A and B are shown apart, each in its own frame.
Chain A
């Protein structure tokens, strides 16, 4: 597809479980961002990749959160030992490069921890 694709669109998990959220960026975009958004709030920065490497992971809330982008395209956000407070919409965005920060977003994954 032409846009950013995120899967799954919805995920319900039990407290303490492990989840993986996937992002397929726009082809050729080297920069990839993960954000977390709570209801009625702006997206909160989590991590930013330039190519395969995490250029800035200062937004990850704790060591239960981890993200990878092994081939510089698809990225996976991994959350261990999920907590109810992790419930939110997780948004992925990509941009052509780190110099061009015009970001294109996917529809997000709504994560609910019960």
Chain B
């Protein structure tokens, strides 16, 4: 059973388009993070959200944590080829061992 479901799993778009990635669970998370990973590298932290309803912006990236802290979304505006990579959400389940569990990721390709 996958604790964190990400959708879509694959996305290929043209430069300049907008996109949204979703991360859903039936579990409540004490915190949730988004990472970006490039081939041959480890995941790199983009943002952490901890409060239900929280919205954070990082340049063209907007992250939102669901009110119930069970889901999150990542919106990218005007995607660029440099945004290409594997986007992963991860969270620590509230009341659990605080281990960090990951979704399967969304592989994004932005074509010039």
Residues of A within 8 A of B (CB): 4, 31, 33, 35, 40-45, 48, 55-56, 58-59, 91, 93, 95, 98-99, 101-108
- Is A33 touching B100 in the complex (CB atoms < 8 A)? yes
- Is B31 touching A4 in the complex (CB atoms < 8 A)? no
Whether B80 sits at the interface, judged by CB under 8 Å, is no
- Is A101 touching B98 in the complex (CB atoms < 8 A)? yes
**A108 partner, pick from B30, B31, B42, beta carbons under 8 A:** B42
Q: How far, in whole Å, are A59 and B3 apart by their CA atoms in the complex? A: 13
- Is A101 touching B104 in the complex (CB atoms < 8 A)? no
Question: With A48-B97, A103-B33 given, is the CB distance from A42 to B104 under 8 Å?
Answer: yes
Q: Which residues of A contact B43 (CB under 8 A)?
A: 43, 91, 103, 105
Number of interface residues of B (CB under 8 A): 26
- Is B99 touching A43 in the complex (CB atoms < 8 A)? no
Q: How far, in whole Å, are A99 and B98 apart by their CA atoms in the complex? A: 8
Query: Which residue of chain B lies nearest to A31 when distances are taken between CB atoms in the complex?
Result: B98
Q: 1/0 contact trace for B12-28 toward A, CB 8 Å? A: 00000000000000000
Query: Which residue of chain A lies nearest to B101 when distances are taken between CB atoms in the complex?
Result: A45
**Given A33-B99, A43-B88, 11 other A-B residues pairs in contact with their CB atoms under 8 A:** A35-B102, A40-B105, A41-B104, A42-B86, A42-B102, A42-B104, A48-B97, A91-B42, A101-B100, A102-B33, A107-B42
